[in-house]
Homo-oligomer: A and B are copies of this chain.
């Protein structure tokens, strides 16, 4: 028996907001769209959900195809589905945000798709509602990173305390009180200090740290059991 046959079907797409971090800047990976309509215009990486795959799988496939990357930190952002968001047909898009260390993956930039990293606050005009998709994903990234230490996905395996604070400053667009920030960070037991120093960034040098992966995994996977942190003293940054 066929159900639902009087219902209207819709094109279903995925679009990936890929965040990277390089030096002190938050970046976003964009491509020149490879198919009509809007061919050759700057766009997020996207594609249509295929019959045999879930939207999550579609997003992973798109990311793999366009960047060669697998097992990247990725999660659902929002659905975009206003009736006329594309004038060429009704397409509802599910967006995903991904976090990668863009310094390590400069070489992934595919010539075929003309992929390119841009600073998060200075990228070319994008097709359709892709700029709104980025704003929404950035807001979600901020919320999520306020509760879970996911921003480490943007750093190389070994990193310094100044790198972490630069990263948080870039994501939240704030100036951080480093002493207080470092103190909180070290008290979290998330970081393991290395003997080696990064001497490229300052004369004195800064010790490298690596993530304590057990604690990280525990924190990132643990079911959220939070008391509200929205009271006055927490709000005032």
Give me the interface of A with B, judged by CB distance under 8 Å: 1-4, 7-12, 36-37, 48-56, 76, 78-79, 81-83, 88-92, 94, 139, 142-149, 168, 172-174, 176, 181, 184-185, 187-189, 219, 223-235, 237
Contact = CB atoms under 8 A, between A and B. Distances in A.
A185 B89 CA distance: 49
A231 B54 contact: no
Contacts of A233: 187
Contact of A83 (B4, B54, B91, B224): B54
B91 A4 contact: yes
A104 to B, nearest CB: 23
11 contacts: A1-B88, A12-B81, A49-B92, A51-B83, A79-B79, A146-B230, A168-B228, A172-B225, A172-B227, A174-B227, A189-B232
A122 to B, nearest CB: 19
Contacts of A227: 146, 168, 172, 174, 176, 181, 237
Contacts of A224: 139, 142-143, 146
Contacts of A49: 10, 81, 92
B11 A7 contact: yes
Nearest to A173: B225
Given A12-B92, A54-B81, A146-B224, 12 more contacts: A2-B89, A10-B10, A12-B12, A51-B83, A52-B83, A54-B82, A76-B78, A81-B94, A143-B143, A149-B230, A188-B232, A226-B237
